């Protein structure tokens, strides 16, 4: 479910954003800049992300655009008006997610929705996630809506009044982004009476190819595993430190005097990171991944409760 441009016809997202800023941008963009997010250098920076959000968020009622664009706009606007958080997905954890099998999706998604700690987030991705059109996906907007919690899917702030949209399913989990080529990617899944539902049709003006569908499946895997990690694996979430945002140059190490915001990390403990980093550093006849999976275990009094545990993939033969 993709659409081949944002709002301004240009050959890349950077060109669209540059055109937007040179044209005077908007009051919303200037307001977002005041949030002053400090983001690690290997991820998309706040100035570009803020411009993209300011460009796309107000357009959810624009009938000129197709449904993929309008739904993506609506989800970006929800993230904005609810002051939802930003997470940075660590590159090592990204690789482990790619090497992990999902398993019984219906069972996982039902348990996941029941335990979600957060219903809206912006997930910044490290380099290496490439779309079929040659662009790079450097973030995912993820939103969960629930028919019993309409407050999750509406809001008013920053001059935006984001309406509640009628639900197609009892629960919807959507993920979307605009890649660096300016292509809007939007998809998701729903749950009705415990049954997983997946729409196959296109919402965008372009028809999805088999490559597009495979790519959306890859994004779905990243979105789902990130939510699983947040729901069942993490003990506490670290905030990005100021030092992690300044790179290796000559920038001062001291905290800036002006108020700043920092994203949160989605990453493993140090011991796990070290083990992953060392993979493949020694000669081996045939190093390969032993794939990970999610296992549902009986816990609690009388072992009547169930908890998901991540059996991490391991690099063997290295």
Please give the average per-residue pLDDT across 151-173, as a whole number. Answer: 92
Most confident range, picked from 61-75, 137-151, 246-260, 261-275: 137-151
- What pLDDT, on a 0 to 100 scale, did the predictor assign at position 90? 94
**Angstrom distances, CA of residue 53 to CA of 59, 272, 289, 309:** 10, 34, 38, 35
Give the three-state DSSP class for 295.
strand
- What pLDDT, on a 0 to 100 scale, did the predictor assign at position 240? 92
Report the run of H or E that residue 227 belongs to, with start and end.
helix 210-228
* Entry pTM: 0.88
The token pair that represents 94 in the structure block: 């990204």
Q: How far is the C-alpha of 242 from the C-alpha of 188, rounded, in Å?
A: 34
The residues near 11 (Cβ < 8 Å, ≥ 6 apart) are 182
Looking at residue 298, the DSSP 8-state letter turns out to be: E
- What pLDDT, on a 0 to 100 scale, did the predictor assign at position 278? 45
Residue 277 has pLDDT above 50, yes or no: no
**Residue among 316, 296, 318, 291 nearest 307 (CA):** 296
Q: How far is the C-alpha of 143 from the C-alpha of 55, rounded, in Å?
A: 19
- What pLDDT, on a 0 to 100 scale, did the predictor assign at position 43? 96
**Residue 57 pLDDT grade (very low, low, confident, very high; cuts 50, 70, 90):** very high
Q: Which residue has the tokens 């140090």?
A: 270
Answer whether 204's CB lies under 8 Å from 66's CB. Answer: yes
For the packed helices 13-22 and 46-56, what is the interaxial angle rounded to 10 degrees? 80
The token pair that represents 108 in the structure block: 């996982």
Q: Cα torsion at 94, 96, 99, 103 (round to 10°)?
A: -100
């Amino acid at each position: 479910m993709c659409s081949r441009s944002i709002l301004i016809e240009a050959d890349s997202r950077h060109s669209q954003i540059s055109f937007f800023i040179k044209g005077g941008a908007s009051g919303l963009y200037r307001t977002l800049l005041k949030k002053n997010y400090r983001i690690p250098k290997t991820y998309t920076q706040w100035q570009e992300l803020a411009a993209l959000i300011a460009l796309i968020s107000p357009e959810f009622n624009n009938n000129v655009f197709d449904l993929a664009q309008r739904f993506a706009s609506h989800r970006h606007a929800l993230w904005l008006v609810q002051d939802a958080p930003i997470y940075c997905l660590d590159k090592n954890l990204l690789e482990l997610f790619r090497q992990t099998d999902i398993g019984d999706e219906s069972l996982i998604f039902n348990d996941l929705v029941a335990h979600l700690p957060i219903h809206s987030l912006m997930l910044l991705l490290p380099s290496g996630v490439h779309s079929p059109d040659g662009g790079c996906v450097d973030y995912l907007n993820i939103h969960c809506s629930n028919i019993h919690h309409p407050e999750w899917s509406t809001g008013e702030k920053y001059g935006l009044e984001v309406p509640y949209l009628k639900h197609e399913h009892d629960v919807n989990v959507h993920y979307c982004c605009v890649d660096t080529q300016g292509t809007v990617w939007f998809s998701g899944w729903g749950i009705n009476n415990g049954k997983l539902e997946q729409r196959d049709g296109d919402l965008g003006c372009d028809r999805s190819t088999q490559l597009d569908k495979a790519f959306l499946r890859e994004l779905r895997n990243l979105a789902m595993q990130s939510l699983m990690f947040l729901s069942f694996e993490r003990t506490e979430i670290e905030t990005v430190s100021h030092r992690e945002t300044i790179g290796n140059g000559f920038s001062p190490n001291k905290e800036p005097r002006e108020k700043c915001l920092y994203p949160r990390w989605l990453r493993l403990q140090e011991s796990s990171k070290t083990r992953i980093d060392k993979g493949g550093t020694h000669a081996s006849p045939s190093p390969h991944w032993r794939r990970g999976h999610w296992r549902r275990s009986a816990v609690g009094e009388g072992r009547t409760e169930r908890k998901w545990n991540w059996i991490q993939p391991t690099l063997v033969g290295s």
